[in-house]
Amino acid sequence: MKLKEIVEKLNLTIIAGKEKLENEVTGGYASDLLSDVIANSKEGNLWLTLQTHQNIIAVATLKELAGIVIVNNREPDEETVRKAEQEKIPLLGSKLTAFELAGKLYELGIKG
Amino acid sequence: MKLRKLAKMAIENRIEHSFVIKGKDFGNAGNVSTKIKDLLKEIGIPPSIIRRVAIATYEAEMNVVMYANHGTLNFALTPQKIEIVVDDRGPGIEDIELAMQEGYSTATEEMREMGFGAGMGLPNIKKNSDEFEITSEVNKGTKLRIVIYLDSKNE
Ligand SMILES: Nc1ncnc2c1ncn2[C@@H]1O[C@H](COP(=O)(O)OP(=O)(O)OP(=O)(O)O)[C@@H](O)[C@H]1O
Ligand SMILES: [Mg+2]
């Protein structure tokens, strides 16, 4: 499924990287530990996290993730937004918790 | 890169490059690993190998950023293997066996808030390498040698 479709269906806010919403989402990963995401996420995953610091963009770039959703209505740092634009990483926001959002993604057919 | 240097590398079947990593520079953290990954992709190295190199270089790079003052990462690719040596000037590691344990971390509260400090970095480097050596001297620095074979089955 394209990221764009997920953004629409789950009402995600687009914070940065809107030119990459055509990215194909292969699955999802939810974690707030960067080493865990580096070790276990896969290319094309949509990453759900509470983290708002700019290092999340470096992780998503290296792992070629489809995008990042910052959950719980948290706001990313300014440098994070700037870096997401620069690296063309879709940075999205949701009011939902990681648990709720993962459930909804599962319902859409986006699995591990 | 100089043409003469490139020609020499081609004859020797060896591509090498040295990268500088600055301590505490979270703004550029991850850039070296991403550059190496992009290079390997361009050369056409299999994705399973790139994946392991990316994990190992990222974790080594981040440890220099988090704990050391300054470091270099030397990368070398031959038809048989990829060798990465990361050498830093910093506090060093007193008890390497302890540092290698999963979950052990001296990351500060601030670093943990950014998502670091799971104590998974060094164990993940080891898991993803075919050869791994770590040496350290307190108050001087730490050196890692990571080798990943191009034909390895290690996952
Ligand atoms: N280059 C280094 N210089 C000094 N100390 C280091 C270095 N690399 C690792 N250490 C020490 O070893 C510990 C374990 O490192 P490791 O990479 O496994 O976990 P971490 O960095 O604490 O957390 P994570 O990598 O999961 O974010 C660190 O907390 C630190 O005390
Ligand atoms: Mg680490």
pLDDT in tens, B109-118: 999 999 999 9
How are beta strands B81-89 and B141-149 bridged, if at all?
A: antiparallel
Higher pLDDT, B11 or A27: A27
The ligand placed nearest to the CA atom of residue B67 is 1
pTM of the model: 0.96
Residue B136 binned pLDDT confidence (cut-offs 50, 70, 90): very high
The reply to whether A112 falls in a domain is no
The reply to whether A20 falls in a domain is yes
**Would you call B116 an interface residue with chain A, using a CB distance cutoff of 8 Å?**
yes
**Would you call B37 an interface residue with chain A, using a CB distance cutoff of 8 Å?**
yes
- Report the distance separating Cα B80 and Cα B152, nearest Å: 10
- Transcribe A17-60 into DSSP letters: -GGGTTPBP-EEEE-S-HHHHHHH--TTEEEEES--STHHHHHH
The ligand placed nearest to the CA atom of residue B106 is 1
Residue B154 binned pLDDT confidence (cut-offs 50, 70, 90): low
Task: Please tell me the predicted confidence (pLDDT) of residue B79.
Answer: 93
Residue B153 binned pLDDT confidence (cut-offs 50, 70, 90): low
Contact between B134 and B146 (Cβ < 8 Å): no
The reply to whether A32 falls in a domain is yes
Q: Averaged over B47-63, what is the pLDDT?
A: 97
Which has the closest alpha carbon to B59: A87, A57, A34, A67?
A34
Q: How many domains does chain A have?
A: 1
Contact between A24 and A48 (Cβ < 8 Å): no
- Report the distance separating Cα A19 and Cα A89, nearest Å: 9
Mind listing the domains of chain B with CATH numbers? 23-149 (3.30.565.10)
Which contacts (CB < 8 Å, 24+ apart) does range B40-48 have?
A: B40/B77, B40/B82, B43/B15, B43/B77, B45/B77, B45/B82, B45/B150, B46/B150, B47/A43, B48/B155
The reply to whether A74 falls in a domain is yes
Distances (CA, A) of A83 to A87, B10, B45: 6, 35, 28
Task: Please tell me the predicted confidence (pLDDT) of residue B7.
Answer: 87
Q: What is the pLDDT of residues A18-35, one digit of tens each?
A: 999 999 999 999 999 999
A33–B58: do the CB atoms touch at under 8 Å?
no
Residue list, ligand 1 pocket, CB within 6 Å: A 35; B 59, 63-64, 66-68, 88, 90-93, 99, 104-107, 116-123, 142
Residue B155 has pLDDT above 70, yes or no: no
- State the CATH number of the domain containing residue A48: 3.40.1390.20
The reply to whether A36 falls in a domain is yes
Residues of B in Cβ contact (< 8 Å) with A59: 30, 58
**Ligand 1 atom at minimal distance to the Cα of residue B71:** 1
- The residue nearest atom 17 of ligand 1, judged by CA position, is B121
The reply to whether A62 falls in a domain is yes
Residue A49 binned pLDDT confidence (cut-offs 50, 70, 90): very high
Residue B78 has pLDDT above 70, yes or no: yes
Chain centroid to Cα A43, Å, comes to: 12
The reply to whether A84 falls in a domain is yes
Closest-CA distance, A51 to chain B, in angstroms, reads 6
Residues of B in Cβ contact (< 8 Å) with A56: 115
How are beta strands A13-16 and A67-70 bridged, if at all?
A: unpaired
- Domain span at A13: 3-107
Task: Please tell me the predicted confidence (pLDDT) of residue B56.
Answer: 98
- Report the distance separating Cα A25 and Cα B3, nearest Å: 41
**Ligand 1 atom at minimal distance to the Cα of residue B102:** 18
Task: Please tell me the predicted confidence (pLDDT) of residue A92.
Answer: 98
* DSSP tag of B131: E
- Report the distance separating Cα A98 and Cα B145, nearest Å: 37
B26–A51: do the CB atoms touch at under 8 Å?
no
ipTM, 2 dp: 0.94
Distances (CA, A) of B10 to A47, B18, B155: 40, 17, 29
